[in-house]
Amino acid sequence: MDSAAASASPGPAAEAAQRPPPHMAALVLARGGSKGIPLKNIKPLAGVPLIGWVLRAAIDAGVFQSVWVSTDHDEIEKVAKQFGAQVHRRSSEVSQDSSTSLDAIKEFLLHHKEVDIIGNIQATSPCLHPDDLIKVAKMIREDGFECVFSVVRRHLFRWSEIKGVNKVTKPQNLNPAKRPRRQDWDGELCENGSFYFAKKHLIEGGCLQGGKVIYYEMRAERSVDIDIDIDWPIAEQRVLRYGYFGKEPLKEVKLLVCNIDGCLTNGHIYLSEDQKEIISYDVRDAVGISLLKKRGVQVWLISERCSKTISAMKLDCEVIVSVTHKLRVVEDWINKMSLSWKEVAYLGNEESDVDCLKKAGMSGVPADACATAQKAAGYICKSNGGRGAIREFAEHIFLLMEKVNSQERKLNDLKN
């Protein structure tokens, strides 16, 4: 090669700059055969399918070239796609009770040769935040680590298990004669199972943790794991307080629009002997509407049916009937009130509500809403339509607004 050709050839540094970055894929393993809690991965937690919490965090982190769910179940696949993930249909060989996470990850890599780094995220860790994943991605990509896994600091004294009669236990990590105070003890770092990041060569070699390995310490309030039924209510309260609610969480609701048929009512219509229509609603929902109005939230009730009974309901809020195109009507209201969709909450239950549910800053459906509406909603109530769903949705709105405002106050305090 002459000197001119040599000068034209890119050097090693230039070649490295031209190469695409390693493909980092987030992978959530979610088989359908959970024994502890059936279909646990898509069971609603605080109104969101469990797997949705970690998928939202992974996608919003913006550090993955692809986000995947590995599953053997049709319903889990539908929910995964709803939250923006791609789906790998795993084989029956790695979907058994005896199958390991490593088995499923290795199979995934066999079908996706483009992936260089796997971020295995556990679906049962709903308090995961994007900033955790961003920091870990940097540790792998820039700091040269081959494996990073999550831990949490625990202050627990351990004792040996007793097996057999006439045995005594022994301390494992303390001197009982000199028990340290919590503030004088750093505690221990324990795996919390939230995530395991590893480079491909480690996994292909049969190991999730190895090589140049380091831990990532998660904050205790974000370290939540769900394994059995009794974990569920605790996790629900934790996620409402510490969970990640998206890039632009709702700060303020100024208008709630609610479908009457199937949300305020249970959808049943009764006819008297003289053919007059009778419907019923739950007093808890009337209280919910009153609470919203006291907080400055306007409430508008909407129905596709034409009914004098509906129009005559005395709930001290706007009632509009004979609506043939809900989205068009609601957009007209929003424009007249000089609002944006981000300031609107919508509670619906039918396919005709889907467009509004998708646009609203906060969306909810009763527990017995149709499947299409449930997929479009951000919150699925535990209550059925006509059985307290509006009251429950109102309380969820208050909780979320308080959470966001509290976080904003803390951030401002830190800045000041």
For the cut 70, the answer to whether the pLDDT of residue 15 exceeds it is no
Q: Check if CATH label 3.40.50.1000 holds for domain 255-408.
A: yes
Higher pLDDT, 409 or 25: 25
For 33-83, what is each residue's pLDDT tens digit? 776 677 889 888 887 889 999 999 999 999 999 999 999 999 999 999 988
* Beta pairing class for 362-365 and 44-45: unpaired
Mean pLDDT of all residues in the chain?
86
391 CB neighbour count, 10 Å cutoff = 22
Choose the catalytic residue: 89, 154, 158, 179: 179
Pick from 7-16, 44-53, 184-193 the range whose average pLDDT is largest: 184-193
Extents of the domains making up the chain? 18-158+169-174+182-242, 255-408
241 in active site: no
pTM, full prediction:
0.71
CATH of domain 18-158+169-174+182-242: 3.90.550.10
380/393 Cα distance (integer angstroms): 9
The per-residue pLDDT for range 123-151, each reduced to its tens digit, is: 999 999 999 999 999 999 999 999 999 99
Place of tokens 């249909």: 89
**pLDDT tens for each residue of 223-263:** 998 888 888 888 888 888 788 877 665 567 899 999 998 99
Where would I find the beta strands (DSSP E) of 86-221?
86-89, 117-121, 147-154, 188-199, 213-217
Q: Which amino acid, one-letter code, is at 38?
A: P
